[in-house]
Each structure stands twice: as C-alpha cells, then as structure tokens.
Amino acid sequence: MLDVARIRADFPILNRQVHGRRLVYLDNGATTQKPVQVIEALTRFYSLHNANVHRGVHTLSDEATELYEDVRAKVAAFINAHSAAEIVFTRNTTESINLVASGWARRNLRPGDEIVVTAMEHHSNLVPWQLAAAATGARVRAIPFLADGTLDMDNARQVLGSGKARLLAVVHMSNVLGTINPVEELTRLAHDAGALVLVDGAQSVPHLPTDVRELDADFLAFSAHKMLGPTGVGVLWGRRGLLDAMDPYQGGGSMIATVEIEHSTWAETPQKFEAGTPNIADVVAFGAAIDYLLDLGMGNVRAHEVALTRYALEQLAALPETHIFGPAQPEQRGGIITFGYAGLHPHDIAQVLDQYGVAVRAGHHCTQPLHRALNLDVGATTRASLYIYNDRDDIDALVDALGRTGRFFGVTGAHSGSGVPR
C-alpha cells in the first residue's frame, strides 16, 4: 500500500505545530495539503517559463502553452477520456457545474422537464440547477437516501422512469456521508430514460480510480485543490459532441474564431469555454499533483483509505457517545467520517480539537438539505476526512482529543443534545 512516512516527508506543512502540538490534518474533504513537488512546479513556472498561452510566438509563450496543454492531456489520461479536447479547465467543481447549467441546461430544458438530483448533493450541485430551472420552467427533484446513508434506488428508478427527467446530476462520493453512489447503474437508468448525466466528482476523483468510459456519464466535474493541486483550477470533462453543441459560458479573448462588431463565431472545444487568460501556473502545478498520484497509484490510494477508514470507524465507535453517519462498511464509502459526539455542538468540538492540533470541519458542509434529512437538532455535524498522508497515529490523536473534549465539557455520556439524531 502506501509508505505514509515517505509521503509525509513531501508535505512541508505537516511539520508545523498548531497550539504547540503536531498538526493532525483531517480536513481533506475541504482541501488537501500540497507536496513539495507541486509547490516547486509553481515556483519553477514563474521562475523560468512565465508567459501568456496561445498568443505569442516567442519562446516563453511557446513553453507556457506546451506546459499548459500537456496538463490537459495528463488530466484526460488520468480519467481515461478519449481526448484532451474533452477537458475544459475551470476555476473549480462549482464553476464546472455552472458551465453545464448555463451552456447546456438553459438552452435545452423546457417547462415540465425535470433535473434529478439527490438529497445528498453539495450546494454546488444543487443551486446551479435551481437557477437553470427558474430560467427555463424546469423543476428540480431529489432522490432521497436511506437510514444507512445509501441512495434509495427504488425511488431513483421511479423518478428517472417518469418520462420527465432530462438530466441526472449526482454526487459520486458524498462529502458528508462518504457514500459512494452506484453511478454506473444510475447512468444506465438515466440513459434508458433519455436523460443526460453529470457526475460531481469533487470527492471521488481524488480518492478513487476514475474511468469516464466505465462510468459512461456525460459530464464529470472535479477540483484540483482536493487532489494535492493548487486552488483555482477545476476540470469539466464532457462528451465531445455535447461540448461542441453547447453555448459558450463566457465571452472574451481566446474563445473566438472570428469577431465582427455585431456577432462572433467560436473557437473549437475546449478553447470555446476558456475565455480570457486562464490560471496557467496553477494548471501547470496541477500536472505535478497528477504525477504524484499516478506515482502512488490510485488503487493504492483507495486501498490505504479503506484500511484507515475501517480503523477510524472502529476507534470512533468504541467511544460510547459517538454517532457515525453514512454506510457502515468502509468498502461502500470514502474516507469521510461525519459524526455527532456526546450531544456537543460541532463547533465546540472542532474548536477544542483544534487546541490539540486536530483540524476537522464543523457545520453543514454545504449540504443543508442533507442535514435536514438527517433530522438533527442542530443543522450541523463534525467531519474528519482522510487522505494519503494520514495514518493510525492521526486517528488515535483524533479519538484521544475527542475524549478530552468530552471531559472538558463534563459529558456524562447522555445522548440528548446537538449533533445526534432526534
């Protein structure tokens, strides 16, 4: 599997202390830390190759263009896309989804059409569809999830089979429950019903081997910053024919073929969707992040997280006041462990854990409908999320600090209060 000690040596930030303690970084669902290889790729670009892309004929511009386009090809290979032309660089997952909502949904949806989502979507894969629905007269419908955190597939069959579904927008791995949704099966159901499928891969692409040909969906969105890369870079993969038929997202330089005063024609896909100067340096550094993950092997990344998640679930379950959300089996989920503890408010938990150097997230994690469906007495939970540099010591530190948090608040073990189901 993974040599965590060797990996940790590549992440300078993991050497720092927080409140005089070793940093235990368990907020990888929000963003991951960056290895020295990515940091150096960024400074190397600015030190040696910095120029604008697709414009100049001088050497630096050629080099910058080649480095930028090489990463497009690298991303295509990483997810087994047919060609680099299917890869659009955006700012993040959110922008990738908005691009489809704007360029496809607004043009193609009609009153009465349905955009099908799930009750476990991140706001990024919900609000853009609400905007598109408001603009077109379409309706957003959600497939609920069951008590074990898995999707209600009977309902999915019913909703997708209603004859009204035009698009299924579904998260591959929930950023709260950790649930890995059966995207291939859902895609079959949606396609049988004549609907397109957009997969929100923000949490899955960084943690699971991803093959867009096997998924067979129509669009896939993900963010570089959740997979060791810099902030400010996202990816939209789409089927070439669909991208070609879509409206541009923004107008400006670099996305045109010809421009007249009153009208213009567009450049080919994917340039059509990349108006203005892109985030060149960060895209180049994202290439170093992909190299790093390829070097580890995504199968090994997944195996490491399954083993560590199993350990974390066991250790947390041993704390009597803990309630863990999402599927019980590590094979059915990612390394995202959301819990309620001893009736304490998640913000209190996260704040005390921080005093012990343990970084976790507290709140609704941009999933208010999901938290409403959990029927908690506060709309918030605490989330620990794992990645390649986490090990059993980190889990032990979390569990130890949680026990201390309970003692700090004088918890007696009662299940009455915030953060546990009513």
Q: Which residue lies nearer to ligand PLP by CB, 202 or 288?
A: 202
Instruction: State in angstroms the smallest separation of the CB of 124 from ligand PLP.
Output: 4
Q: Does 202 bind ligand PLP (CB under 6 A)?
A: yes
Q: What is the identity of the amino acid at 315?
A: Q
CB atoms under 10 Å from CB of 320, counted, come to 9
Q: Does 88 bind ligand PLP (CB under 6 A)?
A: no
Q: Residue 333: what are its φ and ψ, rounded to 5°?
A: -145, 170
Instruction: State in angstroms the smallest separation of the CB of 127 from ligand PLP.
Output: 11
Site for ligand PLP (CB under 6 A): which residue of 124, 271, 381, 418? 124
Q: Does 28 bind ligand PLP (CB under 6 A)?
A: no
Q: Does 34 bind ligand PLP (CB under 6 A)?
A: no
Q: Does 92 bind ligand PLP (CB under 6 A)?
A: yes
Site for ligand PLP (CB under 6 A): which residue of 34, 49, 72, 122? 122
CA atoms of 407 and 409, how far apart (whole Å)? 5
Instruction: State in angstroms the smallest separation of the CB of 223 from ligand PLP.
Output: 3
Contact criterion met (CB below 8 Å) for 352 and 408: yes
Q: Does 90 bind ligand PLP (CB under 6 A)?
A: no
Q: Where are the beta strands (DSSP E) in 9-86?
A: 17-18, 21-22, 24-25
CA 338-339-340 angle, 5° bins: 150
- Catalytic position from the list 366, 373, 378, 411: 366
Question: Cα 124 vs. chain centroid, distance in angstroms?
Answer: 10
Site for ligand PLP (CB under 6 A): which residue of 42, 87, 171, 386? 171
Q: Does 309 bind ligand PLP (CB under 6 A)?
A: no
Q: Does 175 bind ligand PLP (CB under 6 A)?
A: yes
Instruction: State in angstroms the smallest separation of the CB of 130 from ligand PLP.
Output: 15
- Which of the 8 DSSP states describes residue 385? E
Q: Does 120 bind ligand PLP (CB under 6 A)?
A: no
Question: Cα 107 vs. chain centroid, distance in angstroms?
Answer: 26
Instruction: State in angstroms the smallest separation of the CB of 204 from ligand PLP.
Output: 8
Pick from 365, 328, 373, 363: which is nearest to 119 by CA?
A: 373
Please write down the HEC assignment for all residues of 142-159. EECECCCCCECHHHHHHH
Instruction: State in angstroms the smallest separation of the CB of 231 from ligand PLP.
Output: 8
Residue ranges in 312-331 that form contacts with ligand PLP under rule CB under 6 A: none
Binding segment toward ligand PLP, per CB under 6 A, in 41-49, 120-128, 150-158, 162-170: 120-128
Contact criterion met (CB below 8 Å) for 228 and 34: yes
Q: Which residue lies nearer to ligand PLP by CB, 50 or 368?
A: 368
Q: Does 94 bind ligand PLP (CB under 6 A)?
A: yes
Q: What is the identity of the amino acid at 92?
A: N
Joined tokens for residue 156: 């999915």
Q: Which residue lies nearer to ligand PLP by CB, 72 or 172?
A: 172
CA atoms of 374 and 89, how far apart (whole Å)? 35
Q: Does 282 bind ligand PLP (CB under 6 A)?
A: no
Binding segment toward ligand PLP, per CB under 6 A, in 92-100, 101-109, 351-359, 372-380: 92-100
Q: Does 203 bind ligand PLP (CB under 6 A)?
A: yes
Q: Which residue lies nearer to ligand PLP by CB, 64 or 97?
A: 97
Q: Tell me the DSSP string of 263-324.
A: -EEEPPTTGGG--SS--HHHHHHHHHHHHHHHHH-HHHHHHHHHHHHHHHHHHHHTSTTEEE
Classify each residue of 129-163 as buried b or exposed e, where b means 16 or more C-beta atoms within 10 Å of its C-beta.
bbebbeebebbbbbbebeeebbbeeebbbebbeee
Instruction: State in angstroms the smallest separation of the CB of 188 from ligand PLP.
Output: 22
**Is 105 among the catalytic positions?**
no
What are the residue numbers of the active site?
Answer: 366
- Interface residues with ligand PLP (CB under 6 A) are 29, 92-94, 122, 124-125, 171, 175, 200, 202-203, 223
